[in-house]
Structure 1
């Protein structure tokens, strides 16, 4: 017998809450770091081991506007994944299951990752010699 109801909830039924988005973002950033980050790392190593021309090609792409966008994106991925991982680790201990705490901690992973990314790139670009 056919039913007019869907067998499983459709995306339009779900309310996108910040803790759900944080969990999904954690998975996306982990995969992005693994695939994009590893590919760039392998390209850098191969270029450095191959020839001066290969390394100059890597540097020209890595320092282009698109390359800078990728580096900033990867650093945000790193900080987002790190803070979300810490949040998950704390939740594994039993902390943060109250609705207000869960929402606040999920929101702070996004705020913190943006702040840490800005601080990191500020230190890289403006703090040369500061470390």
Structure 2
């Protein structure tokens, strides 16, 4: 019997994922980002509640352009994670499991998260 030729490695850049696969991966990435931002967010909140000088320092940190960019990334992460989570819950109860409906809901999650992020960017940097 001839052995089956197996690939030595997977080239992840050559694998074509469907849109639902990207939504699922980005759901995990957004969850990890939200988890990682909790300690700095609690520290900023603690600093802002420590007194008038602490509040001013926290306000200065948040006003920095890099902080605004991180905040914008967190807006995307929150909205995407929320919408993708709702989509996954709907799929768990067998709502929208058809191929056409699953593609539409995947596209809706990506477009809605992008739109909310653009609106937040417009508000944050205007």
The TM-score normalised by the length of structure 1 is 0.78
Partner of residue 55, structure 2: 55
Partner of residue 27, structure 1: 28
Partner of residue 112, structure 1: 112
Q: Structure 2 regions of 5+ residues with no counterpart?
A: none
Match of 2:6, SS state, is coil
Per-residue deviation, 1:67: 0.8
Per-residue deviation, 1:114: 1.6
The TM-score normalised by the length of structure 2 is 0.80
Q: Structure 1 regions of 5+ residues with no counterpart?
A: 127-131
User: How many matched pairs?
Assistant: 125
Q: Decide whether the 8 Å contact of 1:29 with 1:78 is kept in 2.
A: yes
Q: Decide whether the 8 Å contact of 1:80 with 1:109 is kept in 2.
A: yes
Alignment of 1:1-131 (within 5 A): 4-6=5-7, 10-12=11-13, 14-36=15-37, 38-120=38-120
- Coordinate RMSD, CA, aligned: 2.8
Distance across 2 between alignment mates of 1:8 and 1:102: 30
Per-residue deviation, 1:46: 2.6
